[in-house]
């Protein structure tokens, strides 16, 4: 431990925040890469910075990187096409079947390719992401066989691969439920006060999108209060 360097694909949400805490506990050098991809949840980026500030205050250094890429140029998703609505008020049993409207065509393929380029430029060993499939299995680009095949492609298609200093794709949350992710994060001291998950992208989470529903269930089952809501209440923004 504490020997290698990591690049965490960091949206600022619950899963990638958990990964970031895991990384600062396990790597000597930590980079984050946040994509500004024209998503509805732009507010995530501001929150992402605040989460990194919290970790820096705790004495850990983090190199933040941003990459601007406008996926509205492709469209085809409720997150990158204003003509497609984010599904709301669904019950838990409706979530997780089929590919959801919030699926962005090959988003994780695009993000992993860009992360690989950054990893090569910054000489990083491991690329870490918060992909998981337990609660929400509809995203094809979150599955282990996809991630492993992308890792193989990355090492065939980069200078790093040729030089036999492979880049590893690491997915510590892949088989964890939201409940387990919250517990895992809390064990590593995660503070979720600014870890934002809502698809709607407003300051106060909607509480009704798939992401909000799963998060609520996760915190409840793990037996923790949601730091984000606790903070909002403290700030008088939520009753």
Residues that bind a copy of itself (CB under 8 A): 66-71, 73-76, 99, 103-110, 112-114, 116-118, 120-121, 140-141, 143, 145-146, 149-150, 152-154, 156-159, 161-162
By three-state DSSP, how is residue 53 classified?
A: helix
Residue 96 or 207: the one with the smaller Cβ distance to a copy of itself is: 96
* Three-state SS letters, 9-45: ECCCCHHHHHHHHHHHHHCCEEEEEEEECCCCCCHHH
Nearer to a copy of itself, 11 or 17 (CB): 11
CB of 31 to a copy of itself, least distance (A): 12
Q: Is 154 helix (H, G, I), strand (E, B) or coil?
A: helix
Taking the C-alpha atoms of residue 49 and residue 126, their distance in angstroms, rounded to an integer, is: 22
Min dist. Cβ of residue 106 to a copy of itself (A)? 4
Q: 66 or 175, CB closer to a copy of itself?
A: 66
End-to-end CA distance of the chain: 43
Distance of closest approach, residue 193 Cβ to a copy of itself, in angstroms: 29
Tokens for 81, please give them: 């096409």
Q: Three-state SS for 109?
A: helix
- Tokens standing for 23? 């990384």
How near is the Cβ of 3 to a copy of itself at its closest, in Å?
24
**Which residue's CB is nearer to a copy of itself, number 55 or number 119?**
119
Taking the complex as a whole, the smallest distance from the CB of residue 162 to a copy of itself amounts, in Å, to 5
Residue 92 and residue 210 in contact, taking contact as beta carbons nearer than 8 Å:
no
For 29, other C-beta atoms within 10 Å of its C-beta total: 18
Q: Which is nearer to a copy of itself, 128 or 190 (CB)?
A: 128
Cβ at position 142, least distance to a copy of itself in Å: 9
Query: Are 212 and 197 in contact, with CB atoms under 8 Å apart?
Result: yes
Three-class DSSP category at 121: helix
Q: Which residue number, 112 or 214, has a Cβ lying nearer to a copy of itself? A: 112
């Amino acid at each position: 431990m504490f020997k290698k360097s990591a690049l965490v694909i960091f949206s600022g949400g619950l899963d990638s925040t958990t990964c970031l805490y895991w990384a600062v506990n396990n790597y000597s050098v930590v980079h984050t890469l946040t994509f500004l991809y024209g998503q509805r949840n732009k507010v995530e980026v501001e929150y992402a910075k605040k989460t990194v500030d919290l970790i820096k205050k705790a004495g850990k250094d983090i190199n933040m990187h941003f990459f601007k890429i406008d996926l509205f140029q492709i469209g085809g998703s409720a997150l990158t096409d204003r003509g497609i609505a984010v599904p709301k008020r669904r019950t838990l049993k409706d979530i997780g079947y089929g590919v959801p409207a919030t699926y962005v065509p090959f988003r994780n393929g695009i993000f992993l390719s860009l992360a690989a380029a950054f990893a090569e430029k910054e000489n990083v060993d491991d690329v870490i992401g918060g992909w998981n499939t337990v609660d929400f299995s509809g995203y094809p680009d979150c599955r282990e066989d996809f991630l492993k095949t992308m890792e193989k492609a990355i090492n065939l298609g980069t200078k790093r691969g040729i030089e036999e200093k492979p880049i590893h794709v690491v997915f510590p949350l892949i088989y964890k439920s939201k409940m387990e992710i919250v517990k895992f994060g809390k064990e590593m001291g995660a503070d979720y006060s600014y870890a934002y998950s809502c698809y709607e992208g407003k300051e106060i989470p909607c509480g009704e999108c798939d992401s909000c529903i799963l998060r609520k269930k996760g915190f409840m089952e793990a037996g923790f209060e949601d730091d984000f809501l606790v903070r909002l209440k403290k700030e008088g923004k939520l009753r």
